[in-house]
Amino acid sequence: MTLLEVNNISKTFPGRNGAIVRAVSDVSFCVEDGEVLGVVGESGCGKSTLGRSLLRLIEPSAGEVLYEGRDIIGLNRKDMKSVRRDLQIIFQDPFGSLNPRHKVGHLIGEPLDVHDIGSRTQRLEKVKELVEIVGLPQNAIDRYPHEFSGGQRQRIAIARALALDPKLIVADEAVSALDVSIQSQIINLIAKLQKRLSLSIIFISHDLSVIRHVSDRIAVMYLGRIVEIGPTERVMANPRHPYTHSLLSAIPRVGEKKSRSNLSGEVPDPSDPPSGCAFHSRCPKVMDICKQVRPKLMTHFTDVGGEVACHLFDK
Ligand code: SF4
């Protein structure tokens, strides 16, 4: 069953000298119950803005977000508060997302206080349960965030995000600030909790090698738009869009010290995007039409699943 349906979401910001920064443009996708959708792209491609727009942590400029069939854009504060119980976020920086003046027990239980859920004793029991399922020692409750390592702090942030028994979590670069060895522990924890709690997750990362371990499907973003989306196995084994190829080539193989990335240049300025296909200035397969006409995201290969936006596949 579809839990979240995103239709034509866009987000613009005012830029310098009256320019408009198009951070997210006309993005549509669905997330099913219990599904993990990975969203990948370089820094500046709009994926974090997309994640925050979906939860209305920043207001989208256009489009609709249907949660269980109801458009949450435009809900008033009171109605949005009840929806927020189901939609949570884990941020990249476990140092910045936890108030250093509060003990961990308070930080994890705070959402229960805000939503006035359970008695004091029930809240404490819930906090103890959450501490246990994220793999922290029970005495963590009476300690402060600064007493923990980065990985442990991210476990605290995960416990806090789970406090209200959400149905969908946006994990926004949730492991990017951690050491590589700790990253895999947190990825494994998220994967374990996703199965145990049947969570839907939108897992945002710039790193395709991280995304592939947790995602059922992968959406590749470039300059505010989805350029390819499909089942993880297909995208990893048979990427269609040249940008997906480039991201894949940047993953070092076992025994290789250097990445084989063929991606040159930077993501263009979103306040002055290239004409036609936004990737044309960096694409090794660019054709004349690419500079003039923006390709639409379309299903080209019904047998393998997914959609791609690229003129290479025009009929
Ligand atoms: Fe490259 Fe053209 Fe495809 Fe864009 S549309 S990715 S420039 S081949």
Q: CA nearest 175: which of 200, 132, 211, 147?
A: 211
Q: What number does the ligand 1 atom closest to the CA of 289 have?
A: 2
Best residue for ligand 1 mutational test, from 226, 263, 267, 279 (most atoms within 8 Å of Cβ) = 279
- The CATH-assigned architecture of domain 2-86+166-313 is 3-Layer(aba) Sandwich (3.40)
Instruction: Give the three-state DSSP class for 237.
Output: helix
Q: In whole angstroms, what is the distance from residue 64 CA to residue 72 CA?
A: 7
Sign of CA dihedral 50, 64, 193, 248: negative
Q: CA nearest 33: which of 84, 62, 69, 60?
A: 69
Q: In whole angstroms, what is the distance from residue 13 CA to residue 10 CA?
A: 10
Instruction: Give the three-state DSSP class for 66.
Output: strand
Q: Which residue carries 């070092």 as its tokens?
A: 252
Amino acid found at 240: R
| Structure token pair of residue 308 | 């791609």
CA of 275 to the centre of ligand 1 (A): 12
Instruction: Compute the chain's Rg from CA coordinates.
Output: 20
CA of 62 to the centre of ligand 1 (A): 26
Best residue for ligand 1 mutational test, from 227, 277, 293, 296 (most atoms within 8 Å of Cβ) = 277
Q: Is the CB of 280 under 6 A from ligand 1?
A: yes
**Each residue's pLDDT expressed in tens, for the chain with a length of 315 residues:** 999 999 999 999 998 888 999 999 999 999 999 999 999 999 989 999 999 999 999 999 999 999 999 999 999 999 999 999 999 999 988 777 789 999 999 999 999 999 999 999 999 999 999 999 999 999 999 999 999 999 999 999 999 999 999 999 999 999 988 888 899 999 999 999 999 999 999 999 999 999 999 999 999 999 999 999 999 999 999 999 999 999 998 887 666 666 566 777 888 899 999 999 999 999 999 999 999 999 999 987 767 778 999 999 987
Q: Partners of 30 in the beta sheet?
A: 5
Q: Is the CB of 295 under 6 A from ligand 1?
A: yes
Ordered by start, the domain boundaries in the chain are 2-86+166-313, 103-164
Task: Count the neighbouring beta carbons within 10 Å of the beta carbon of residue 16.
Answer: 7
> Using an 8 Å Cβ cutoff, are 164 and 127 in contact?
no
Q: In whole angstroms, what is the distance from residue 185 CA to residue 129 CA?
A: 20
